Amino acid sequence: MDIENVLSRFPRAKLLDAHTPLHDLPRLTAAVGGAAIAVKRDDAMALAFGGNKVRQLEYYLGDALAKGADTVLITSAVQSNFMRLTAAACCQLGLE
Protein backbone atom coordinates (compact mmCIF):
# COMPACT_ATOMS: atom_id res chain seq x y z
CA MET A 1 0.00 0.00 0.00
CA ASP A 2 1.42 3.41 -0.92
CA ILE A 3 1.33 6.59 1.17
CA GLU A 4 -1.31 8.27 -1.00
CA ASN A 5 -3.75 5.43 -0.34
CA VAL A 6 -3.09 5.56 3.39
CA LEU A 7 -3.47 9.34 3.60
CA SER A 8 -6.63 9.34 1.47
CA ARG A 9 -8.45 7.71 4.39
CA PHE A 10 -8.20 10.91 6.44
CA PRO A 11 -10.20 14.12 5.95
CA ARG A 12 -8.08 16.88 4.43
CA ALA A 13 -8.64 20.61 4.06
CA LYS A 14 -7.03 21.92 0.87
CA LEU A 15 -4.62 24.71 1.84
CA LEU A 16 -2.04 24.33 -0.92
CA ASP A 17 -2.81 25.03 -4.56
CA ALA A 18 0.01 22.96 -5.98
CA HIS A 19 3.26 21.23 -5.17
CA THR A 20 6.01 23.48 -3.94
CA PRO A 21 8.54 24.32 -6.65
CA LEU A 22 11.93 22.70 -7.06
CA HIS A 23 14.80 25.02 -7.97
CA ASP A 24 17.88 23.59 -9.64
CA LEU A 25 21.22 24.52 -8.10
CA PRO A 26 23.59 24.28 -11.09
CA ARG A 27 26.57 25.95 -9.40
CA LEU A 28 26.39 23.65 -6.39
CA THR A 29 25.93 20.68 -8.71
CA ALA A 30 29.04 21.72 -10.64
CA ALA A 31 31.02 22.33 -7.44
CA VAL A 32 30.37 18.88 -5.98
CA GLY A 33 30.04 16.96 -9.25
CA GLY A 34 27.70 14.06 -9.81
CA ALA A 35 23.92 14.11 -9.72
CA ALA A 36 21.92 17.30 -10.22
CA ILE A 37 21.06 19.08 -6.96
CA ALA A 38 17.78 20.90 -6.39
CA VAL A 39 16.09 22.49 -3.40
CA LYS A 40 12.38 22.21 -2.55
CA ARG A 41 11.06 25.74 -1.96
CA ASP A 42 8.53 25.37 0.84
CA ASP A 43 9.05 29.06 1.55
CA ALA A 44 7.23 29.76 -1.74
CA MET A 45 3.92 28.32 -0.46
CA ALA A 46 0.82 30.50 -0.53
CA LEU A 47 0.60 30.69 3.27
CA ALA A 48 3.60 32.29 4.97
CA PHE A 49 6.02 30.10 6.93
CA GLY A 50 4.95 27.06 4.87
CA GLY A 51 6.64 23.69 4.97
CA ASN A 52 5.47 20.76 7.00
CA LYS A 53 3.28 23.04 9.13
CA VAL A 54 0.84 23.58 6.26
CA ARG A 55 0.74 19.88 5.48
CA GLN A 56 -0.05 19.07 9.12
CA LEU A 57 -2.78 21.71 9.22
CA GLU A 58 -4.44 20.26 6.12
CA TYR A 59 -5.17 17.14 8.18
CA TYR A 60 -5.86 18.79 11.56
CA LEU A 61 -8.29 21.27 10.03
CA GLY A 62 -9.71 18.71 7.61
CA ASP A 63 -10.64 16.58 10.60
CA ALA A 64 -12.20 19.58 12.36
CA LEU A 65 -14.29 20.44 9.29
CA ALA A 66 -15.35 16.82 8.80
CA LYS A 67 -16.62 16.82 12.39
CA GLY A 68 -18.60 20.03 11.81
CA ALA A 69 -16.39 22.28 13.94
CA ASP A 70 -16.57 26.04 13.52
CA THR A 71 -13.85 26.86 16.06
CA VAL A 72 -10.34 25.43 16.44
CA LEU A 73 -8.18 25.49 19.56
CA ILE A 74 -4.50 24.69 19.11
CA THR A 75 -1.85 25.61 21.66
CA SER A 76 1.81 26.42 21.24
CA ALA A 77 4.42 28.96 22.28
CA VAL A 78 3.31 32.58 22.01
CA GLN A 79 5.93 33.42 19.34
CA SER A 80 5.15 30.28 17.32
CA ASN A 81 5.02 30.50 13.55
CA PHE A 82 2.69 27.48 13.72
CA MET A 83 0.14 29.65 15.55
CA ARG A 84 0.37 32.39 12.91
CA LEU A 85 -0.07 29.83 10.19
CA THR A 86 -3.00 28.20 12.02
CA ALA A 87 -4.75 31.57 12.28
CA ALA A 88 -4.22 32.24 8.56
CA ALA A 89 -5.42 28.76 7.56
CA CYS A 90 -8.50 28.99 9.80
CA CYS A 91 -9.36 32.35 8.27
CA GLN A 92 -9.00 30.88 4.78
CA LEU A 93 -11.33 27.99 5.70
CA GLY A 94 -13.91 30.07 7.60
CA LEU A 95 -12.97 28.69 11.02
CA GLU A 96 -12.46 30.67 14.21
Q: Where are the domains of the chain?
A: 3-93
Given this model, what pLDDT does residue 48 score?
A: 62
pLDDT score for 1: 77
Q: Whole-number mean pLDDT of the chain?
A: 88
| pLDDT value at residue 49 | 63
How many other C-beta atoms can be found within 10 angstroms of the C-beta atom of residue 50? 19
Region 44-57 average pLDDT: 76
CB count in 10 Å sphere of residue 70: 10
94: Cα within 13 Å, side-chain hemisphere? 6
Does residue 3 register a pLDDT over 80? Answer: yes
* Cβ atoms 37, 25 nearer than 8 A: yes
User: Is 76 one of the annotated active-site residues of the chain?
Assistant: no
Share of the chain above pLDDT 70, in %: 94
Separation of alpha carbons 71 and 5, rounded Å: 29
pTM, to two decimals = 0.73
Q: Which of 80, 83, 84, 87 is catalytic?
A: 80
Res 39 pLDDT > 80: yes
